[in-house]
Amino acid sequence: MKKRALITGINGMDGSHLADLLLEKNYDVFGVERRSSTRNRVNTLHLVEKIEFLNGDLTDQNSLFRCLKQSDPDEVYNLAAQSHVRVSFDIPENTVDGIAMGTLRILEALKTSCPNARFYQASSSEMFGDNPNFPFNEDSRLMPASPYACAKVFAHNLVRNYRQSYDLHASSGILFNHESPLRGEHFVTRKITLAAASIKLGLQDKLFLGNLEAKRDWGFAGDYVEAMWLMLQQDEPDDYVISTGETHTVREFLERVFDYAELDPKKYVEIDERLFRPHEVPYLLGDSTKAHKVLKWEPKLKFEQLCETMFKADYEYLKIR
């Protein structure tokens, strides 16, 4: 009998990659999207005939009950969020309501209507914030440095509380930065690859960036959604750090991409102080020893390959527009 999975945030980068993975594994997939006057299916156009889209919103409790009833899932993946850290300083209430209270609403709906379904929560490496004691594992102190990260800490602790209080099979993946050609254009990695392709094709003259010295542990989203799935295949629920164990600066990402594009970043890149975060997280590095041992998970795509893959995808995308 085919398993059934419900994914919130279906139209995001992770939602699209996860849906592809689950379809390969012969799941019936249901994706939750917010109703709006225009459809936001840039990442999921190829899924329109393959999955069922449901109207729902993490700020609307009744819609979550309805989505659970319609999908009757074996597995629920909560990926929905306002996920841009810099933007969370500008719209903190919206960010916190969707992530923190949204997770509470879906856990309550799950507990009431389908308590046997397995639940995955998208936690974040941003929860470690400016903790200087890296690399970070599942027991590292959480020191969030943005409204986004604070909301993720609340949701992370809430999942653990519901797991212990109501015996839910609820796991959290503490995912470090992960990217793909499906990443939103306002995130720094995609902003860089899209600009490099645009400049190469004569469509753009300048790229404005903020802090180039922030160090991040970057992996490939396609690898990371496999870790999400593996968590829900375990007999016991738990929390796992998912990372590559390598760190690179934004400057390194920029230089690698511009090198593939055969461009000199000094000619095209300018620093804009308005793009800096009010509270910067200088260094993120993960320790995924537990995931390696328990889940048998390993990242496949290396940093250099990720940079090249994203640039080539944007170059081909712009060339045919």
Establish whether 71 is a catalytic residue. Answer: no
Residue entry with tokens 């200088």 = 282
Establish whether 260 is a catalytic residue. Answer: no
Amino acid occupying residue 138: E
Name the token pair of 303: 């940093």
- Distance (Å, rounded) from C-alpha 108 to C-alpha 97? 15
The answer to whether 55 and 35 have CB atoms below 8 angstroms apart is yes
Residues 6 or more apart in contact with residue 316 via CB below 8 angstroms: none
**Residue 217 burial by CB count (10 A; 0-12/13-18/19+): exposed, middle or buried?**
buried
DSSP string, 84-147: -HHHHHHSHHHHHIIIIIHHHHHHHHHHHH-TTSEEEEEEEGGGGTT-SSPSB-TTSPP---SH
Name the token pair of 36: 């709006």
User: Is cis: bond before 147, omega within 30 of 0?
Assistant: no
Nearest to 75 by CA among 164, 170, 172: 170
Q: Considering 148, 224, 240, 315, which one is annotated as catalytic?
A: 148
Q: Considering 33, 75, 126, 252, which one is annotated as catalytic?
A: 126
Q: Considering 16, 124, 243, 288, which one is annotated as catalytic?
A: 124
Establish whether 37 is a catalytic residue. Answer: no
- Distance (Å, rounded) from C-alpha 197 to C-alpha 317? 9
Name the token pair of 2: 């085919």
Residues 6 or more apart in contact with residue 251 via CB below 8 angstroms: 212, 213
Residues labelled catalytic: 124, 126, 148
